[in-house]
Amino acid sequence: MPTIHAVQGDITEAEVDAVVNAANSAMRGGGGVDGAIHRAGGPAVLRDCVERFPDGLATGDAGWTTAGELPARWVIHTVGPNYAAGQRDRSLLESCYRRSLAVADELGARTLAFPLISAGIYGWPKGDAVACAVETIAATATEVTDVTLVAFDAQTLAMVESELRGAVP
């Protein structure tokens, strides 16, 4: 099990082997974390998305691209369920974390930064999004040694830290 900790900040500045992008299924950039990663990573990220994922990516799946100009080496893109659009199967959200860790293992990445997948514009209830992230990462066998959950604001950071105190010894 990796060490899991939380920080408040900008995931595009994370100095880790790979950052996880909460992508949309088209894999062509978007808003929120997805847009921020594409902007900060530059055109190489989009070029790699187009080349590696010509038909996009399914909800709950994950794949990788270059990180372009980000300090990380790779971006692991995962497509979370859109709760606001009726995709409310928690196993899809859990799959995002498990698949991202599996892709990290394939790459040899040992340090990873995750946003809270689906908790922004996709509308997953934040408390459950936090619980799902912590529970799934803690329960997934992986070679990743260090996971940073990057919270956008102080309230979310407090929620993640509280969940970590309750879930991780």
* Domain-wise residue ranges, the chain: 3-167
Q: Could you tell me where the DSSP H helices lie in 11-70?
A: 32-41, 43-52
Tokens (6 digits) for 3: 């060490």
**Residue 98, SS3?**
helix
pTM of the entire predicted model? 0.96
Amino acid, res. 142? T
- Active-site residues: which are they? 34
Q: Are strands 62-66 and 74-79 parallel, antiparallel or unpaired?
A: antiparallel
Q: List the Cα angle 102/17/133 in 5-degree steps.
A: 50
pLDDT digits (tens, 9 = 90+) for 117-145: 999 999 999 999 999 999 999 999 999 99
Query: What kind of fold does domain 3-167 have according to CATH?
Result: Leucine Aminopeptidase, subunit E; domain 1 (3.40.220)
Q: What percent of the chain has pLDDT over 70?
A: 98
